[in-house]
Amino acid sequence: MEHKLLVSSSPHIHQNESIASIMLDVIIALIPASLMGVYYFGYKAAVVIITAIAASVLSEYAYQKITKKTTTVSDLSAIVTGLLLALNLPVTIPLWMVVIGSAFAIIIVKQLYGGLGKNFMNPALAARCFMVIAWGGAMSAFVEPFVGYGADAISQATPLGVLKGISEGTIPSVNDAFFGVKPGTIGETSGAMLLLGGLYLLYKRVISWHIPTIYILSFGVLTYFLGNNNTQLSQLNFTLLSICTGGLLLGAIFMATDYVTTPTTKRGQVVFAVGCGLLTFVIRRYGSYPEGASFAILLMNIATPLIDRYIKPKKFGYVKKK
Amino acid sequence: MFNTFKGGMHIPDHKELTSGKPIKALDGDKVHIYPLQQHIGAPLEAKVQKGDYVRVGQVLADSDAFVSTPVHSSVSGTVTDIKPYLHPSGAKVTAVFVENDFTYEKYEGIKPYNIEDMTKEEMLSVVRNAGIVGMGGAGFPTHVKLSPPQEKEIKYLIINCAECEPYITADHRRMIEDPDSIVDGIGIVLKILGLDTAYVGIEKNKPDAIKVMNEKASIAGNIKVCPLKTKYPQGAEKQLIYAITKKQVPSGGLPADVGAIVMNVDTVSQISKTFRTGMPLIKRVVTVSGDAIENPSNFEVYTGVTFQYLIDNAGGFSKDVRKLVMGGPMMGIAQYSTEPPVVKTTSSILALSEEGGNYDDYSPCIRCGMCVEHCPMNLMPLYLSKFSVNNELEKAEEYNILDCIECGLCSYLCPGKQGPLHNIRIAKQKIIENRRKNK
């Protein structure tokens, strides 16, 4: 038997996990929330999701073909970006906006900075913020669940806007807010399904508990003590509603845990999460937007290189310099 | 709670392939090949000539340098050649070829030592002249290790039975089958060091070995068995010292800085054999394993047989081999031939059907942080790797690249298959070379 022996430096074994397998886990974790979105908002939600994914993948493929780079579509990261972006959009969004948003995420935010691993902001989040600024009206045209089935859905304010007192509407019960019967983007309405996905990622060790838990906790504590400007709700009710509405859960579980744009050390991740919680609170409480999670995470994305530079693990055998 | 350190992780160990297989003593081969470099330290000079008749235990090569140990013939027969030959390190090294006459005639003057009458210096010279080195894989001369600087007070003798590398079961079998030589060897080393107690660290995935060693320890009275968490790299020197003493060897320092000396279990067993029979290091236990080996085995072999000889005795290859490794899969050396000889540091030979470690087709770093989370030295391999690629050596030093112990966990874990350790090694080498130049 002729054996072609490969010589390389150690180690000679590797675990099976690959970037594609990690991305696949994230996609699997997002499926419950996506299905719930389709259930609440109808087939239009599915169309938005498919459009965003297709536009993301095609943008990546086209960019890499044109610039003569190796095609990396098979690492599935463009699918994750497209899916995350779709879950951050209202179901009423015109499809051409979805296409432009997806292309923005992939080409401007990701590829121009060097592709996967080099982007300093989460592509889906950056695209969402770009769309909020570019098409404020279309991006806040939310409808009640199940209304989307009908031909002429009427735009509704999100519970967040109502909570903040900047728009008129009904405040859902905590129960409805958690399970998803409320107006909002396709993916953010069902906290329960997002948590389910988060638990799957924890189980598969794709994410650790640090960022989501600390983000939500720090936001919750601040809101409990400083956030309630609604006299009809108790502190606790207001806090729980604030956590379950808007993009907080989606952001904390799926966006603030994006490897590329978050610190690599556990201590750094704690700082990152507290920063996210604080900024989300400040924007929601004092800013002009009802929603703060996206901007908060993006701002902390930008702070990530700084956090990684200053919060390093103390090396084994560390000796104090005399 | 078991003793351990921060970082590291358990990796599939495949030890079940050979952990239940008794050590089989193999006869010598027709020709034995003895490279003149089997230790860390000064090179040796051949003491025999072509045509000489040599006997078992006879010195083939030696040096006057302190940091060196002789190489002995493990068989009796005629020296047929002295010429460069393929060494497991991949280089060609001068080697002595001895044609085995299968009489195993003992070299004159080989007889047991009477430890009671010996001074520490006499005992150390016995260890040196027996060619004993760290048999776990490092190959550091044992008599040097046992002669720490005067100003360092040694408090802990730690025997490394962690055997944290996947596949290898040589130490495991040694503990089960020959615990008395280990206990005896520990006694001798304790006498040399003037200590009362030795600490034996064993990973808890070897409960049978822990049981045997505990029984022996309770009789001997000078041994404390410390079960360790099963985790790679539990057997790395600094991590093992920390697990048992809770003391961190300072960066850039030696185990002696925290009063510790770590020895491999096979080395200790060899010390016993040398003092009780007079025979130098001419045999060792080698695990032959891997998914491409027909009949994975533990062998006791005379040094100088080729890898091919061991592979044949293990039934040959069962499937296409993509990687042949001497040592463990995490830190061992890849071989491009089955012809190198077994040397003093050959703890195992692995034939793997996967070509793990091919870094030609890698994905970008997605900063998943797994290398940071599991690094046993608390370093940030992703940045070290990046600095190496960008040739930013000063930054690499600032990020403590020289503290890397090259355990390979970062490369094992990397989902992008980037091989951070490979890049880190390159930068380390450049930094060390620059320092040498600037001296």
Query: Is the per-residue pLDDT at A65 higher than 70?
Result: yes
Query: Is the per-residue pLDDT at B86 higher than 50?
Result: yes
Confidence category of residue B432, pLDDT binned at 50, 70, 90: very high
Is A16 in a helix, a strand, or coil? coil
pLDDT for A156? 67
The distance between the two most distant Cα atoms of chain B, rounded to a whole number of Å, is 64
Mean pLDDT of the B51-68 span: 94
For the stretch A91-138, pLDDT in tens is: 999 999 999 999 999 999 999 999 999 999 999 999 999 999 999 888
pLDDT for A38? 92
Architecture of domain A19-310: Orthogonal Bundle (1.10)
pLDDT for B356? 65
pLDDT for B231? 93
pLDDT for A150? 46
Query: Is the per-residue pLDDT at B93 higher than 70?
Result: yes
CA distances from B264 to A247, B162, B186, B379 (A): 56, 9, 11, 26
**Closest residue in B to A18 (Cα–Cα):** B415
Query: Is the per-residue pLDDT at A182 higher than 90?
Result: no
For the stretch A292-310, pLDDT in tens is: 899 999 999 999 999 999 9
Residues whose CB falls within 8 Å of the CB of residue B343, separated by 6 or more in sequence, listed in order = B35, B38, B87, B88, B139, B303
Structural domains of chain B in order of their starting residue, each with its CATH number: 111-277 (3.40.50.11540), 370-438 (no CATH)
For the stretch B126-157, pLDDT in tens is: 999 999 999 987 889 999 999 988 888 999 99
DSSP category for residue A255: I
Query: Is the per-residue pLDDT at A221 higher than 60?
Result: yes
For the stretch A137-149, pLDDT in tens is: 888 888 877 764 5
Query: Is the per-residue pLDDT at A20 higher than 50?
Result: yes
Residues in chain B closer than 8 A to A16 (CB atoms): none
Residue A12 has its nearest CB partner, among B357, B368, B399, at B357
Distance CA B282, CA B272 (A): 14
**Residue of A5, A13, A64 best to disrupt the B interface, most CBs of B under 10 A:** A13
Residues whose CB falls within 8 Å of the CB of residue B36, separated by 6 or more in sequence, listed in order = B43, B44, B45, B46, B60, B61, B71, B93, B94, B95, B96
Could you tell me what percent of chain B has a pLDDT over 70? 98
Pair B132, B270: CB distance under 8 Å: yes
pLDDT for B28? 94
Task: Look at A167 and B325; give whichever has higher pLDDT.
Answer: B325
For the stretch B5-29, pLDDT in tens is: 889 999 999 999 999 999 999 999 9
Pair B211, B217: CB distance under 8 Å: no
Cβ contact, residue pair B322, A262, below 8 Å? no
pLDDT for B359? 60
Task: Look at B109 and A61; give whichever has higher pLDDT.
Answer: A61
For the stretch B224-273, pLDDT in tens is: 999 999 999 999 999 999 999 999 999 989 999 999 999 999 999 999 99
Strands in B77-86's sheet, in edge-to-edge order, are B31-35, B92-100, B77-86, B53-54
Nearest to B14 by CA among A13, A299, A244, A197: A13
Is A5 in a helix, a strand, or coil? coil
Query: Is the per-residue pLDDT at B361 higher than 70?
Result: no
Query: Is the per-residue pLDDT at A271 higher than 80?
Result: yes
Mean pLDDT of the B43-56 span: 94
3-state secondary structure chain B: CCECCCCCECCCCCHHHCCCCCCEECCCCCEEEEECCCCCCCCCEECCCCCCEECECCEEEECCCCCCCCEECCCCEEEEEEEEEECCCCCEEEEEEEEECCCCCECCCCCCCCHHHCCHHHHHHHHHHCCCECCCCCCCEHHHHCCCCCCCCCCEEEEEECCCCCCCCHHHHHHHHCHHHHHHHHHHHHHHHCCCCEEEEEECCCHHHHHHHHHHHHHHCCEEEEEECCCECCCCHHHHHHHHHCCCCCCCCCHHHHCEEEEEHHHHHHHHHHHHHCCCCCEEEEEEECCCECCCEEEEEECCCEHHHHHHHCCCECCCCCEEEECCCCCCEEECCCCCECCCCCCEEEEECCCCCCCCCCCCCCCCCHHHHHCCCCCCHHHHHHHHHCCCHHHHHHCCHHHCCCCCHHHHHCCCCCCHHHHHHHHHHHHHHHHHHHC
Mean pLDDT of the A143-165 span: 65
Query: Is the per-residue pLDDT at A29 higher than 90?
Result: yes
The pTM of this model reads 0.91
Chain B nearest-CA distance from A51, in A, is 26
Cβ contact, residue pair A264, B382, below 8 Å? yes
pLDDT for B358? 58
Distance CA B82, CA B52 (A): 11
Mean pLDDT of the A214-218 span: 96
For residue B38, count CB atoms less than 10 angstroms from its CB and return exposed for 0-12, middle for 13-18, buried for 19 or more.
Answer: buried
Written as one string, the DSSP assignment of A78-144 is HHHHHHHHHHTS-TT--HHHHHHHHHIIIIIIIGGGTSTTT-SS-HHHHHHHHHHHHTHHHHT-B--
Could you tell me what percent of chain A has a pLDDT over 90? 62
- List residues in chain A touching B: CB distance below 8 A: 1, 3-15, 17-19, 21-22, 72, 75, 77, 115-118, 259-260, 262-266, 308, 312-319
pLDDT for A304? 96
Chain B nearest-CA distance from A98, in A, is 26
Mean pLDDT of the B194-207 span: 93
Complex ipTM: 0.90
Mean pLDDT of the B345-358 span: 83
Residues in chain A closer than 8 A to B333 (CB atoms): 10
Residues whose CB falls within 8 Å of the CB of residue A240, separated by 6 or more in sequence, listed in order = A174, A177, A178
Residues whose CB falls within 8 Å of the CB of residue B30, separated by 6 or more in sequence, listed in order = B99, B100
Cβ contact, residue pair A13, B329, below 8 Å? yes
Mean pLDDT of chain B: 93
Residues in chain A closer than 8 A to B357 (CB atoms): 6, 8-14
Residue A12 has its nearest CB partner, among B90, B332, B375, at B332
For the stretch B292-301, pLDDT in tens is: 999 999 999 9
